[in-house]
Amino acid sequence: MTWNRRYDRWVAVAVCLTVLAVGTWLGLPTPERASSAASAVTSVARDLPPAAPRTTHALSPVELRAAMHSRHAVTRNLPKYGPLSADTTIIVVQVHQDGTSLRRLIDNLSRVLYIQSTLLIFSHAYYDDGINESVDSVNFCRTMQLFYPYSVQLNPKWFPGLEESGENVAWRVETKLHWWWQAHYVFDNIGGAAGDAPVLFLQEQHVVAPDMLYMLRHAQRALAELPSAHVLALGREPARRLEPDLLLLDAWRPPYDVGLAFNRTTWIKIAALAIQFCTYEDCSWSYSLLNVFAAFPGGRCDMVACVAPRVLVARAGRPAPAWVRQFPTHVRAVYAWTTHARLEGPAAFAGTASAADCARLRDQLFCLDPLIDIDTDYFNDTAI
């Protein structure tokens, strides 16, 4: 794809941005800026890429595109587990470059009850033979690999990669753009995502409990009875004495970005507010999504969340979680209430320290570009 073709598309997107802004003003309230008083609130799942510098793959960008194209969107293990249906739960793992963490997560997932009924999608921003071998080893469910076509690895010397602001900025904004792209791709192109089954979003550095999908099913039942709730949350910061059989109805916010799940109906509402996600000056997809939810009616998006997390972030120096009291027989759902009224959290929180890196108009327009040309033609396009 040539630069001129991209430029023409971004001009069109800029025009659409004005239309979207008017539509948002007419239909939904504009969210206020994050309060500095909430700056102490931080996300457990820092959805920024690892701080360690990345290595350059030995293949050229043209060779990388050909290698990615051969693997992109191919569903494996179908003869063993059968075709997708509207009830298929899809798990999307956003993969960066940490092969060790990914292997640990795959091992965790192999022990999850009902995992054989899912489609496990690995969404890559980096092509690596070792990571591909780990994905190829999965034989406990259907799998698929997606490759983000506008990664910095594929574009090392041109937008959206290294340009006037330097390589570090490009790496930091990539995770947000990659998350947005993969959500678009899954809901618009994967057959199983057309139904009401949830799509569960994970990161390679997560660890999961064996009863993760068991609790997801209970949360789905609660969601069906709670019309104000739109998303499910299976993770949060670990703490002592949390009730493993309890589900909570509350306003979604980080740190409930760990193990976030929602269905196509909710995605349509999110995608309609793309301007709130893409123009929010923060490199974190979770705080950008919080800005979207602040534009929902009532200024929030309610969730059904596990009080005791079933998804955690693996951290250096932290021992492996001891999953206790799994598979509760009786699961209860409660509201976040005081003795007088429902607890109402703020609609938005302070973003991350990387906000300045995501204030560039070119990245915002690139994010708003519908589906960012997700067709596989890009992998064969050598005219840069």
The CATH number of the domain holding residue 234 is 3.90.550.10
Length of the chain: 384
- In this structure, is residue 44 part of a structural domain? no
Distance between terminal CA atoms of the chain?
A: 6
Cβ proximity of 292 and 270 under 8 Å: yes
Angle at 361 between CA 380 and CA 26, to 5 degrees: 110
- pLDDT > 70: percent of the chain: 70
Tell me how far apart the alpha carbons of residues 254 and 49 are, in angstroms, rounded to a whole number: 17
Residue type at position 91: I
- In this structure, is residue 23 part of a structural domain? yes
The residue-averaged pLDDT of 129-147 equals 96
Q: Which residues lie closer than 8 Å to 331 by C-beta, 6 or more apart?
A: 215, 218, 245, 246, 247
Does the structure show a pLDDT above 70 at 353?
no
Q: Which residues lie closer than 8 Å to 120 by C-beta, 6 or more apart?
A: 91, 93, 109, 138, 141, 142, 143, 144
Side-chain half-sphere of 177: how many Cα atoms within 13 Å? Answer: 30
Residue 317: what pLDDT? 64
- 194-236: per-residue pLDDT in tens? 678 899 999 999 999 999 999 999 999 999 888 889 999 999 8
- Which conformational region is residue 371 in: left (phi greater than 0), alpha (psi within -120 to 50 degrees), or beta? left
- In this structure, is residue 382 part of a structural domain? no
Residue type at position 148: Y
Residue 231: what pLDDT? 97
| pTM beyond 0.85, yes or no | no
Does the structure show a pLDDT above 70 at 337?
no
- Report how many domains make up the chain: 1
- 269-311: per-residue pLDDT in tens? 999 999 999 999 888 999 999 999 999 998 999 999 999 999 9
Tell me how far apart the alpha carbons of residues 164 and 142 are, in angstroms, rounded to a whole number: 42
- In this structure, is residue 50 part of a structural domain? no
Residue 109: what pLDDT? 98
Does the structure show a pLDDT above 70 at 351?
no
Phi, psi of 90 (to 5 degrees): -105, 130
Q: Which residues of 14-28 are buried (b: 16+ CB within 10 A; e: fewer)?
A: eebbeebeeebeeeb
If you average pLDDT over each of 34-43, 145-154, 302-311, which comes out highest? 302-311
Q: Which residues lie closer than 8 Å to 204 by C-beta, 6 or more apart?
A: 93, 94, 95, 96, 98, 101, 102, 105
Which class for 382: exposed (0-12), middle (13-18), buried (19 or more C-beta within 10 A)? exposed
- In this structure, is residue 49 part of a structural domain? no
The mean of the pLDDT values for the chain is 77
- In this structure, is residue 181 part of a structural domain? yes
- In this structure, is residue 40 part of a structural domain? no
If you average pLDDT over each of 67-71, 88-92, 365-369, 380-384, which comes out highest? 88-92
Domain that holds residue 178: 3-31+58-373
- In this structure, is residue 324 part of a structural domain? yes
Does the structure show a pLDDT above 80 at 354?
no
Count CB neighbours of 144 within 10 A.
22
Q: Which residues of 229-261 are buried (b: 16+ CB within 10 A; e: fewer)?
A: bbbbbbbbeeeeeeebbebbbbbbbbbbbbbbb
